[in-house]
Structure 1
Amino acid sequence: MSYCESVGFDWVLFDADETLFHFDAFAGLRQLFAGFGVDFGAAEYEEYQRVNKPLWVEYQEGRINAKTLQESRFALWGERLGVAPAELNSGFLSAMADICAPLPGVPELLNGLRGRYRLGIITNGFTELQRIRLARTGFAEHFEVLVISEEVGVAKPDKAIFDHALDAMGNPDPARVLMVGDTLASDILGGLNAGMQTCWYNPGAKAIDPGIQPHLEIRCHSELARLLA
């Protein structure tokens, strides 16, 4: 008997970016800034990430809100171009909605799970991208629950966003919920703290954090499909 059969899941929750969808921020930023006549290259991207990455840490730790993150990451570029940071952020999310594609195997996985498990998404991404992208790909019909940190006011790994998701799901037994995500520090740690079963999507075979132990680990979506078959 497999681990999945012995546990017996009712729900499968997914992270969105880099779990269901490829998220190429560099390509999105190039598209955004091309509209302003800027040749956005590797050096510009490195400069952007020096600002962006610490902001995401602060956001996930609950020290800043989504609006602060979204606008602060474009503050320097807003000054250079004479454009409001909020406008640049909106343009970036629009560009990402245009270019983000499902990861290989995701459509087949979702089609295989539909009707056999109840499905949901819990994401630290932003509303302006998440809802449009799900609608454009046709994935929205697969998911009963969509929990977005920007709308809830807290981000993974905060237990509150997982509790919010469980409430929206009708308060099932967390032990019968499988949380699938690519990031140990947010998806897996948050799922563990909420009492859920967890599955780490780790296509690059990254080293595990000894302090965060997922119940399952997969390299590809077909592997998860087999585990849940």
Structure 2
Amino acid sequence: MKYEIVLFDIDDTLLTLESDGTWRKMFGRLLNEVGVQATDQNYQDFIDNNHRLWAQAENDEISTEAVFDNRFDLPFIQDCGVSAAELDVRFQEMQQHESTPTKGALDCCQKLSQSLDLYTASNGKQKTQATRVQGSPLAPYLQKVFTSESVQTLKPKPEFFAKILREVGVADKQKVLMVGDTYGEDVLGAHNFGIDSCWLNLKQEATPESNLCTYQVPDLGKLPALIM
């Protein structure tokens, strides 16, 4: 078999989050708690701000803590009496209870774990992501949860992957496959580090002309047949 380990992104790869509306519902509950109406525009403003802050963090312009402390720093919520940082603490607590696998994820992990070591490799807070994984039916098949907080480096930086491989004791990059739904972080990150990747193309987006992914699947249930 070509691979020894598989690294999985978590959000919208192993576990649903934004793709199935989970985040939108969480956002609505959070704003309702502080007496603010959750509109589609408000939610889009939050998503845009979150993406902007993560991009700044990836460029070393701000820390990851600044992402979490400021992504709720939005005009429509500033007068609610709760700080942006505290709102994010509440949001993280809600997220810890969201552990629904994406389509095909359970079958994929069950099959691959019979002959491969499976790990997560995701950006985010360690407690939040580990709690979500541990509360899911995928937990028995995953060796360890790695996050940007636990390795102290953001994906897609090469050092993110390097630290994980050192931790699991794998030196041969050809034995590693990265699987994720975000082309820029998961596919390009893996490519720049020198490992194979599988793009989980949930939204059936057009493949970039460069097409740097080794594999592409619409759901994780299709992955075992490609690599086993």
Please report the TM-score for the alignment, with normalisation by the length of structure 1.
0.90
CA contact (8 A) 1:188 1:212 kept: no
Structure 1 CA distance, aligned partners of 2:52 and 2:40?
A: 19
Which sits farther off after the overlay, 210-219 or 118-127?
A: 210-219
Q: Show CA shifts across 1:135-191 (max 9, x none).
A: 111433322232211232321110010001111110331111111111111111111
Structure 2 CA distance, aligned partners of 1:188 and 1:228?
A: 17
TM-fit CA distance, 1:106: 0.9
2:63 counterpart (57, 65, 84): 65
Structure 1 SS opposite 2:130: helix
Aligned-residue RMSD, C-alpha = 1.8
- Equivalences for residues 123-134 of structure 1 within 5 A: 123-134=122-133
More helix by share: 1
Structure 2 CA distance, aligned partners of 1:210 and 1:153?
A: 32
Aligned to 2:39: 41
Please report the TM-score for the alignment, with normalisation by the length of structure 2.
0.90
Aligned to 1:28: 26
Structure 1 SS opposite 2:198: strand
TM-fit CA distance, 1:92: 0.8
TM-fit CA distance, 1:12: 0.8
CA contact (8 A) 1:28 1:99 kept: no
CA contact (8 A) 1:189 1:212 kept: no
Structure 1 CA distance, aligned partners of 2:113 and 2:95?
A: 26
Which sits farther off after the overlay, 94-103 or 163-172?
A: 94-103
Moved over 6 A (4+): none
CA contact (8 A) 2:36 2:77 kept: no
Structure 1 SS opposite 2:209: coil
CA contact (8 A) 1:184 1:209 kept: no
TM-fit CA distance, 1:61: 2.5
* 2:159 is aligned with 1:163: no
Which sits farther off after the overlay, 10-19 or 74-83?
A: 74-83
Q: Show CA shifts across 1:62-92 (max 9, x none).
A: 3221110001112236632121222211111
Structure 1 residues not aligned, in runs of 5+: none
Aligned to 1:179: 178
Structure 2 residues not aligned, in runs of 5+: none
* 2:83 is aligned with 1:88: no
TM-fit CA distance, 1:93: 1.4
Which AA in structure 2 matches 1:42?
Answer: D
* 2:186 is aligned with 1:192: no
Structure 2 SS opposite 1:116: coil
CA contact (8 A) 1:105 1:222 kept: yes
CA contact (8 A) 1:157 1:191 kept: yes
Structure 2 CA distance, aligned partners of 1:155 and 1:181?
A: 15
Aligned to 1:223: 222
TM-fit CA distance, 1:195: 1.6
